[in-house]
Every structure is written in C-alpha cells, then in structure tokens.
C-alpha cells in the first residue's frame, strides 16, 4: 500500500488539494435553469429544526426504490445544481424509481456536525437523509424502505460514499462523480477543511479537530469494506482539458488560462482520490464496481450529467427497479 508510486500520487494530491482550498470560489459558465421535473415538497427535519425543500420525481406506484441525489459545495437553499445545470430530473421521469433531490446543505458534507456552526447553522444531514427523508418517502409516496441508492458530485460524492458505507442496510447502490473519498489522507483532509472554511464554516465543528474526533469514522476509504455486495460507481476526469469546452483546451484559439487554473486542479485532485478509492473498493468481496476515469474533464456539470446517466444504466437501474 505504501509503494513509491503511491507516495508520488499523494504528493500530487497534496499539491492539488492545497490549491483546491483557494479555488472553491471558482465559477463556471451559466447554464440553462431547467427546474424540478416533479414537485418540490417541504420535508420537516426535527433534527435540524426546519423544513427542507426536496425535488421529488415520484415513481407513482408503491413499493418502488428511491434514488437520493446530493448537490455540491455551493448548494443553494432554494434549488439544486442538478436542476439548474442538468436535465436529470426530466431524465428520471417514467423510470419506475423515485428521485429525491434535497435543497441546501452547502458546505456541510451532508453529515451530522458535532456542534452548531455560527455561519452554517445546525447540520444534521446524515439524520435527515438516512431517517427523516426516507420515512417521509415511505409515508407519502409508498417508497420501499430498504431499496435505496445515493449519488453525489464533488463534495457530495464524498458524502454519498460515506453515507452508503455507514448505513449499508439502507442503500443498495452508490455513485460518486468527481468526489474526494480519501478523507484522512494527507492533502485531502486539508482540502476538505479549506472547502468548509471557504463557505464560512468552522471545520472543527463538523467532525472535531483533526486528527481526533470523527474524521476517521467518516472516511469512505477506511469503511469501504461495508460496501460488500453493493453496486458502486466511481467517475472522475484527469483534468487535462475538456472536449465540451474549448476554453479549457490548451492550444485552442479560445483557451482561457484563468478558467483552466480555476477548474482543472479540482478535477485532478478528484481523479487522484477516486483512483486510490477504486483500488481499495475493488478488493471488497461482492462489490459490483463500475468506473469511468476519463483522460480529460473539467470540474463541471456537463460531465456529471453524462456520468449520472451512465451510472443509472450500470448501477442504479439494476439495483432499484
């Protein structure tokens, strides 16, 4: 496990995620707002003391599975990047599975924080996502309680793998698109701390002061063994340009060096972390693993929309239908 090759990879990861902390303010081109293809329902969370808007595309029949889809670091409280930047909620209509996209959670890593944060408030997202929202889906939409999948991108790719590992009886399938599932490896810890801080939060309020507290207990790499028998999908791009966006292609007439410097390091770090995780989860007995590490890719929704649709076909549809 501690070969010279891995040490070189970790050195690269440290450099990338050190940069990552200063680049989470990066923005990408505006995309068409498509909205929720189902209904936005307010689901009360006793744990957080508030109601959470959730975009729900209901299967329309009882006993169906549910796919929970999480947003990224800058998740707004009144919408989701999945609705703003992709057509996945439209794509999921008629698929015979419930889709639930909760709004909010920016900077929270969708976990239960140890303490209320002065800026980010009371975060009990693990409780909401694993108990309160599934109970609502079962009560209101007749969803099957033990037939769930969860997916996320960037920040929430880490979260999806973490929740699936911590609650293996709840989820049958999980996907991470450009996530960072090596939480306690050098560089990635600092990147996560910097990301929370960039959103105004105190990372010590989340899992305690590293290396103590609950950091190790929330590291998907360390708990990968709990995914035995599950369907798992992992994707990331190496960040070497973009076939979708010529401004991120070095040498192209429209190359934008500033934009390249903002978006590419995020994906480089995700690629390193994801490939380390893939090597680990591939050793878990019974895991049905699908991976897609592309030779290009920027840290943006165009890729995540395509990867979501691929993961639906390979991972979620077989597990949840």
44 catalytic per annotation: no
Sign for the pseudo-dihedral over CA of 63, 64, 65, 68 = negative
Distance CA 319, CA 321 (A): 6
Q: DSSP characters for 42-64?
A: EEEETTTTEEEEEEEE--SSTT-
8 Å CB contact between 131 and 152: no
DSSP letter assigned to residue 225: G
User: Which one is catalytic: 156, 267, 273, 274?
Assistant: 267
User: Which one is catalytic: 80, 154, 159, 176?
Assistant: 154
Distance CA 150, CA 94 (A): 19
Strand order in the sheet with 39-45: 39-45, 50-57, 98-102, 66-69, 148-153, 171-177, 231-237, 288-294
267 catalytic per annotation: yes
Distance CA 89, CA 80 (A): 11
The three-state secondary structure class of 174 is: strand
- Tokens in use for 58? 């209901």
- Tokens in use for 45? 């969370």
User: Which one is catalytic: 45, 159, 165, 299?
Assistant: 299
8 Å CB contact between 195 and 74: no
8 Å CB contact between 299 and 25: no
Q: Cα Rg for the chain, rounded, in angstroms?
A: 18
8 Å CB contact between 173 and 230: yes
Strands (E), the chain: 39-45, 50-57, 66-69, 98-102, 148-153, 171-177, 231-237, 288-294
Residues with active-site annotation: 154, 267, 299
């Amino acid at each position: 496990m501690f070969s010279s090759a891995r040490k070189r990879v970790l050195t690269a990861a440290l450099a990338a995620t050190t940069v990552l902390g200063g680049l989470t303010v990066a923005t990408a081109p505006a995309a068409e707002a498509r909205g929720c293809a189902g209904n936005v329902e307010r689901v009360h969370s006793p744990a957080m003391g508030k109601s959470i808007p959730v975009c729900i595309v209901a299967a329309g029949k009882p006993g169906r599975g549910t796919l929970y889809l999480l947003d990224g670091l800058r998740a707004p409280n009144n919408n989701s990047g999945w609705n703003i930047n992709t057509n996945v909620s439209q794509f999921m209509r008629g698929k015979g599975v419930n889709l639930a996209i909760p709004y909010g959670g920016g900077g929270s890593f969708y976990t239960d924080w140890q303490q209320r944060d002065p800026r980010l408030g009371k975060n009990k997202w693990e409780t909401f996502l694993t108990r309160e929202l599934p109970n609502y889906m079962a009560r209101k939409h007749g969803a099957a309680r033990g037939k769930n999948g969860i997916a996320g991108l960037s920040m929430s790719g880490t979260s999806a793998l973490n929740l699936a590992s911590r609650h293996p009886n709840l989820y049958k399938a999980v996907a991470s698109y450009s996530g960072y599932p090596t939480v306690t490896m050098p560089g990635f810890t600092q990147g996560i701390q910097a990301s929370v801080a960039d959103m105004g939060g105190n990372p010590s309020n989340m899992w305690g002061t590293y290396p103590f507290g609950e950091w190790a207990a929330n590291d998907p790499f360390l708990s990968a063994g709990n995914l035995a028998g599950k369907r798992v999908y992992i994707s990331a791009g190496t960040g070497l340009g973009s076939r979708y966006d010529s401004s991120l292609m070095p040498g192209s007439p429209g190359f934008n060096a500033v934009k390249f410097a903002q978006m590419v390091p995020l994906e480089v770090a995700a690629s390193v972390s994801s490939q380390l995780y893939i090597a680990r989860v591939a050793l878990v007995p019974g895991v049905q693993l699908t991976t897609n590490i592309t030779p290009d890719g920027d840290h943006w929704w165009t890729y995540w929309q395509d990867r979501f649709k691929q993961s639906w076909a390979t991972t979620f549809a077989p597990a949840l239908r």
